[in-house]
Structure 1
Amino acid sequence: MLTILRGIWVPACFTIDPIVGPEGGGPVDNPFAAEAREDPYPIYRRMREAATAHDTMFGVPAYLRYADCAAILRDGRWGRGSGSDRLRGAEDKGNRRSFVRQDPPEHTRLRGLVAKAFSPQVIAAMRPRIEQLAEGLIDDMFATGGEVELLAQYAYRIPVTVICEMLGVPAEDQVTFSRWARFLARGQDPEEVLTPDEARRRNGAIRNFREYFRELIAKRRAESTTDLLGRLIEAREAGDSLSDADLLATCVLLLFAGHETTVSLISNGILALLRNPDQLARVRDNDLPEQSSFIDELVRYDAPVQFVSRTALQELEHDGRRFAKGEHVLLILAAANRDPEAFDDPERLDVARPNSRHLAFGLGIHFCLGAQLARLEGEIAIRTLLRRAPAMALTPEPLTYKPNIIMRGLQRLPVRLK
């Protein structure tokens, strides 16, 4: 049986343990509640200040401090549990061959093969096409009038077009993919917070993606191509290769991860700059020190992926707490990225911040394989837009966020181009 508890669908047997603030200052709100979607960061701060770890509604502890999150991400005794973690939804049950769900040695083998298609040379060669795409989309937006919905007309279309072209997916299928990806994004959240209808749509999206790529892989095997899927089929490492099951899981992962998080990187980043005009001006005017990366600062400030889970691969101890093999933790990376022990004045957006050590792309062996592509897409998308529309402004329309708790992103981003 399900009930609605503080804006979240949870099993009736679940309760949320009250989190007491520092020095008895009252309870800390639930960061997974619907009302926290607009701005979870004050809640993260209170939790981080109150205790090292907090018990959650999912029955596992959550860590919010940078030192804890970084240590667990680096520690090879923690892993993904080869897809066994109950915190993950049915997407994992149908896609366990994906290398991000694996631990060594299988993770090492699969990631090594896929990484060949994401070499620095391959990514750098994509710059002209991404620049062309951004310019064309801005031309289209100016042609339709001053007010546009930037998320759907721009932030979404750049990364989805790029990854579809990389995989050899026809342009006419991108609209269909966007609907499936939306269902799958919500389905990334733990099973406990999904309504029955959301779980059903998520499961249908998984089946649709897998069937689509099963047919596409068969075509590529029969007719060699030079796109990403063709290169994955031809990938070799010490006599090894990707099986059809590996390819299928990898395609679903790349199509979804290759655009959904980057959409939020671009749209969340643009919103943050519009709300901080002095920082927007520095990016627009290229008034930045060489050692800084404004994209890294944007994802530190408002991370598209708010938290990840890790599984103890053996009996171990962290910060005085014992974990049995198979037990899980949540790492709230978005909270760690604003930890004052790791970052000076962390609540302030500073596009000139040097050498950001944020955790938005992860750390250790599971560091995001597509981080360089996401950075390139974000840099081109934002710089091109600010150059073409230097006085762009938000419209009075209220902003709303998607209900997702793991992947943070806007529903819409209405702006006036000028």
Structure 2
Amino acid sequence: MNEHVQSTGSEPLFNPLAPEYIRNPYPYYERLRTMDPVHLNVHGAFVASRHAEVSLVMRDKRFGKDFSERTIRRYGPKIMEEPAFRSMSHWMLQQDPPDHTRLRGLVVKAFTARRVEDMRPRIQQVVDETLDRIIPQGKMDLIEDFAFRLPVTIICDMLGIPEEHREAFYNGSRDGGRLLDPVPLSPEEIKQANAGNVMAAMYFHQLFELRRKQPGDDLTTQLVQAEENGHKLTNEELTANIILLFGAGHETTVNLIGNGLLALHRNPDQLALLKANPGLITNAIEEFLRYDSSVQATGRVALEDIEDLGGKRIPKGETVLCLLGSANHDPAVYPDHPEKLDIRRPNVKPLSFGGGIHFCLGAQLARIEAEIAISTLLRRIPDLRLDDAENPEWRPTFVLRGLKCLPASW
């Protein structure tokens, strides 16, 4: 990061990949909210840190995604030839209407509240099987052995990925998060991202062939059929959005479970309270989302000149980075010690799932997975202790906030 941009010689106000930022971004957010709530950072993006501006930008029609344009501004005109960026440009997450509306319409039925509620017994079964296998060992890594297995299994179920292919996904690497960070990727990182994208595309093309021959009651079959009917979906869109669903379907939920368990063990009073009152779990999940969100930021682009956003003028085409984690700690909305974990906190409405037309498709699924995972763990291993709650190892990404590992024993 180029710290010479600010002539004062002070540290930049927003330096998201600095190790101390990754460890605990919240004091830095507080500084942003008080000193410069819509802050122009060294990469030329406006960084919104208060709840008011963040929620406005996500819902306001004058802001959109404009992914290709925004990416070309940052990397130059050749960037969209890179497979990873080309694939991302087709994600519904990066699309504006009408493409966004069409793509989301194809998958939304798989994520309705009713469909997700019906998955509760299966989610419980996966959690119990995982714990049956692991309890006799007396120790585990809560991330890899526990938090990771559940959402990967459920998204594999939903996408119709056969049992015999899943081992590769359980052992898969979790280093895709850098693609989403507001700091440009190095050529080496782009090369890695491309390689990962090519591998994923190769696998999913095999899965498409399988589901053309043997249709199932799954999302892949649904999308393959939409693609075959023409007009609805190109092959490139199909591939990109399955990759998105697979990644989004586990990455963030792993972090919600991991960050939630860490927060509980760092706040023993709250852990004791939840064990004594298991019925608090639903509100506790909302508080985990607010307290240490697994997604810290989301971006929008001004589709027209915006005269006043928190006192700044945003010219058309400029990016606004919405700091969800900061908005979730804004004392204007959470006047009662926003920096404290309080699983009984009233009116928790975290912005962690985004807002507006891009509101997270899997929000309800993530909540239920985390609820069942955490409450079952507390019930079945009541004497679980973290090896080191003070200095856990965070993954070196900013937008996706999560732990590399979280060793525990009992």
Q: Does residue 331 of the first structure (1) align with residue 313 of the second (2)?
A: no
CA RMSD of the aligned region, Å? 2.6
| Corresponding residue for residue 301 of structure 1 | 291
**Could you tell me which of 43, 48, 54 is aligned with 2:33?**
48
| Corresponding residue for residue 122 of structure 2 | 129
Note the residue ranges of structure 1 that are not aligned, 5 or more in a row.
Answer: 6-13
Distance 1:148 1:156 in 2: 12
Distance 2:332 2:346 in 1: 16
Distance 2:59 2:50 in 1: 14
Distance 1:29 1:95 in 2: 25
- Judged with a 3 Å threshold, the aligned counterparts in structure 2 of structure 1 residues 56 and 26 are, in CA distance, closer, same or farther, namely closer
| Corresponding residue for residue 225 of structure 1 | 216
CA deviation map 1:240-298 (0-9, x unaligned): 633323321211001000000110000010000111122122322335569x6211110
Letter aligned with residue 81 of structure 1: D
SS in 2 for 1:308: strand
Distance 2:108 2:200 in 1: 22
| Corresponding residue for residue 367 of structure 2 | 375
Note if contact 2:87-2:236 (Cα within 8 Å) is conserved in structure 1. no
| Corresponding residue for residue 415 of structure 1 | 408
Note if contact 1:183-1:205 (Cα within 8 Å) is conserved in structure 2. no
Q: Does residue 80 of the first structure (1) align with residue 68 of the second (2)?
A: no
TM-score, length of structure 1 as denominator length: 0.87
Distance 2:14 2:58 in 1: 26
Distance 1:176 1:305 in 2: 25
SS in 1 for 2:338: coil
Note the residue ranges of structure 2 that are not aligned, 5 or more in a row.
Answer: none
Distance 1:118 1:169 in 2: 17
Distance 2:50 2:238 in 1: 36
CA deviation map 1:212-260 (0-9, x unaligned): 1122112212332112212333469x99633323321211001000000
CA deviation map 1:358-378 (0-9, x unaligned): 110001111000101100110
- Judged with a 3 Å threshold, the aligned counterparts in structure 2 of structure 1 residues 184 and 171 are, in CA distance, closer, same or farther, namely farther
Q: Does residue 153 of the first structure (1) align with residue 153 of the second (2)?
A: no
Q: How much identity, in percent, do the aligned residues show?
A: 41
- Judged with a 3 Å threshold, the aligned counterparts in structure 2 of structure 1 residues 26 and 304 are, in CA distance, closer, same or farther, namely closer
Note if contact 2:147-2:373 (Cα within 8 Å) is conserved in structure 1. yes
| Corresponding residue for residue 50 of structure 2 | 65
CA deviation map 1:111-138 (0-9, x unaligned): 1121011112211111111101101111
| Corresponding residue for residue 203 of structure 2 | 212
SS in 1 for 2:175: helix
TM-score, length of structure 2 as denominator length: 0.89
SS in 1 for 2:24: coil
The correspondence of residues 337-348 of structure 1 with structure 2, limited to 5 A, is 337-344=328-335, 345-348=337-340
Letter aligned with residue 408 of structure 1: R
Answer with 173-182 or 250-259: which moved more: 173-182
Answer with 319-328 or 132-141: which moved more: 319-328
Distance 2:101 2:197 in 1: 25
- Judged with a 3 Å threshold, the aligned counterparts in structure 2 of structure 1 residues 184 and 84 are, in CA distance, closer, same or farther, namely farther
Distance 2:168 2:156 in 1: 12
CA apart distance, 1:198? 2.9
Note if contact 2:300-2:319 (Cα within 8 Å) is conserved in structure 1. yes
Distance 2:7 2:201 in 1: 41
Distance 1:27 1:99 in 2: 33
| Corresponding residue for residue 8 of structure 1 | none
CA deviation map 1:32-88 (0-9, x unaligned): 312321111111111211122222122212010000100111101101114432269
The correspondence of residues 230-309 of structure 1 with structure 2, limited to 5 A, is 230-234=221-225, 241-286=232-277, 293-309=283-299
Ranked by relative contact order (alpha carbons within 8 Å, sequence separation 6 or more), the top structure is 2
Distance 2:196 2:392 in 1: 27
Q: Does residue 352 of the first structure (1) align with residue 357 of the second (2)?
A: no
SS in 1 for 2:313: strand
Note if contact 2:149-2:170 (Cα within 8 Å) is conserved in structure 1. no
Q: Does residue 104 of the first structure (1) align with residue 97 of the second (2)?
A: yes
Higher helix fraction (1 or 2): 2
Note if contact 2:278-2:375 (Cα within 8 Å) is conserved in structure 1. no
- Judged with a 3 Å threshold, the aligned counterparts in structure 2 of structure 1 residues 352 and 323 are, in CA distance, closer, same or farther, namely same
Letter aligned with residue 376 of structure 1: I
Note if contact 2:215-2:221 (Cα within 8 Å) is conserved in structure 1. yes
- Judged with a 3 Å threshold, the aligned counterparts in structure 2 of structure 1 residues 179 and 15 are, in CA distance, closer, same or farther, namely farther
- Judged with a 3 Å threshold, the aligned counterparts in structure 2 of structure 1 residues 19 and 342 are, in CA distance, closer, same or farther, namely farther
- Judged with a 3 Å threshold, the aligned counterparts in structure 2 of structure 1 residues 29 and 94 are, in CA distance, closer, same or farther, namely closer
